[in-house]
């Protein structure tokens, strides 16, 4: 069973907690710690951060919806809601890149 290098929690899919290695980096981390970091250090909303964390660990939208339902103890979000969060993240990324590119010559 995997353990988060940050908080020590182990996988508990029935509770919506999974531990894995993000696509970047060497530390094994849980989706909760990764979502907290993203929420505090990026422009992503809390729910967008939760989706992003699970995407970075390697999950697809349908599984992300299931894990988030388990974690929050609700019937939502659905896959279509996760699709929407993903779209919003992509929009924010594109705007951020455009901002950096526009300001780069002035910095």
pTM beyond 0.85 = yes
- Note down the domain range covering 28: 13-106
Instruction: Give the E-state strand segments of 1-107 in sequence order.
Output: 19-20, 29-30
What integer pLDDT is reported at residue 22 of this predicted model?
85
What integer pLDDT is reported at residue 26 of this predicted model?
72
Q: How many folded domains does the chain comprise?
A: 1
What integer pLDDT is reported at residue 68 of this predicted model?
97
pLDDT in tens, 39-51: 999 999 999 999 9
Of 17-31, 56-70, 71-85, where does mean pLDDT reach its minimum? Answer: 17-31
Cβ neighbours, 10 Å, residue 77: 21
Is there a domain that residue 1 lies in? no
Cβ neighbours, 10 Å, residue 16: 19
Is there a domain that residue 51 lies in? yes
Average of per-residue pLDDT across 35-39: 97
Contact predicate 53/24, CB 8 Å: no
pLDDT in tens, 70-83: 999 999 999 999 99
């Amino acid at each position: 069973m995997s353990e988060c290098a940050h908080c020590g929690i182990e996988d508990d899919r029935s509770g919506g907690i999974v531990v894995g290695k993000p696509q970047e980096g060497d530390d094994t981390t849980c989706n909760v710690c990764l979502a907290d970091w993203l929420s505090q250090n990026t422009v992503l909303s809390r729910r967008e951060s939760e989706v992003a964390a699970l995407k970075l660990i390697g999950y697809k939208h349908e599984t992300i919806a299931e894990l988030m339902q388990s974690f929050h103890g609700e019937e939502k979000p659905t896959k279509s809601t996760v699709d929407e969060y993903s779209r919003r993240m992509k929009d924010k990324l594109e705007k951020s890149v455009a901002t950096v590119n526009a300001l780069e010559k002035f910095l």
